[in-house]
């Protein structure tokens, strides 16, 4: 189970954000954004397994999720629009649930690596409550003022006073 992860600004020919081969995958409250070269999520399954994504921001990829010889279930998804649109949201056997939104995620400062959502983000107060009580910054999820969780790795907090220091990893 992958929970509260930000996967952004990577590059690869296939599976530029997440590459899955013959594994059971459950991802909850993740933000997968602006990974270049391949699908944001690429899944190749040779065994009968399940791929389930819940409360995911999946934006700015050639293909949001590509499935080869497999299927996936997505619920609570924010797909990109405008500058954040995917070339295709999905390719393959994808079953989407009742919460599918399209819009600009309104990240705070993605050019500097800050993928927290801002006040007007369509991801706010739209997620399914799946029992995840903290976000990627260890802040309460859902925010006590709304009691409805946000889609993605970040839970918006109006009263935040945080300093964001991006983590940069380079592979030479």
Q: How far apart are CA 56 and CA 100, in angstroms?
A: 10
Average pLDDT over residues 134-159: 93
Q: Strands 51-59 and 25-33: what pairing?
A: parallel
3-state class of 45 per DSSP?
Answer: coil
Task: Evaluate if residue 27 carries a pLDDT over 80.
Answer: yes
CA pair distance 162, 129, nearest whole angstrom: 25
- Give the residues across from 5 on adjacent strands: none
User: Which one has a higher pLDDT value, 44 or 125?
Assistant: 125
Q: What percent of the chain has pLDDT over 90?
A: 72
Q: Is the overall model pTM greater than 0.85, yes or no?
A: yes
Query: Please, which pLDDT band fits residue 71 given cuts at 50, 70 and 90?
Result: confident
Tally of domains in the chain: 1
User: What average pLDDT does this structure show over 19-38?
Assistant: 92
Min mean pLDDT across 14-23, 45-54, 109-118, 154-163 is at: 154-163
Domain that holds residue 119: 1-172
Average pLDDT across the chain, whole number: 91
Q: Tell me, what's the pLDDT at 64?
A: 96
Interatomic CA distance for residues 154 and 159, integer angstroms: 14
- Dihedral of the CA atoms 107, 109, 110, 116 (nearest 10)? -40
């Amino acid at each position: 189970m992958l929970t509260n992860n930000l996967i952004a600004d990577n590059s690869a020919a296939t599976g530029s954000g997440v590459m899955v081969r013959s594994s059971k995958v459950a991802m909850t409250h993740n933000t997968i954004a602006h990974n270049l070269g391949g699908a944001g999520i690429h899944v190749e399954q040779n065994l009968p397994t399940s791929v389930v994504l819940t409360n995911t921001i999946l934006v700015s990829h050639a293909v949001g999720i590509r499935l080869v010889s497999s299927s996936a279930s997505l619920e609570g998804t924010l797909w990109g629009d405008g500058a954040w649109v995917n070339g295709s949201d999905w390719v393959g056997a994808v079953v989407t649930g009742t919460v599918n939104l399209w819009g600009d995620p309104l990240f705070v400062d993605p050019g500097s690596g800050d993928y927290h959502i801002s006040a007007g983000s369509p991801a706010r107060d739209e997620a399914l409550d799946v029992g995840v009580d903290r976000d990627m910054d260890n802040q309460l999820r859902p925010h006590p003022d709304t009691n409805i969780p946000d889609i993605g790795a970040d839970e918006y907090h109006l009263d935040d006073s945080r300093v964001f220091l991006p983590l940069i990893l380079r592979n030479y």
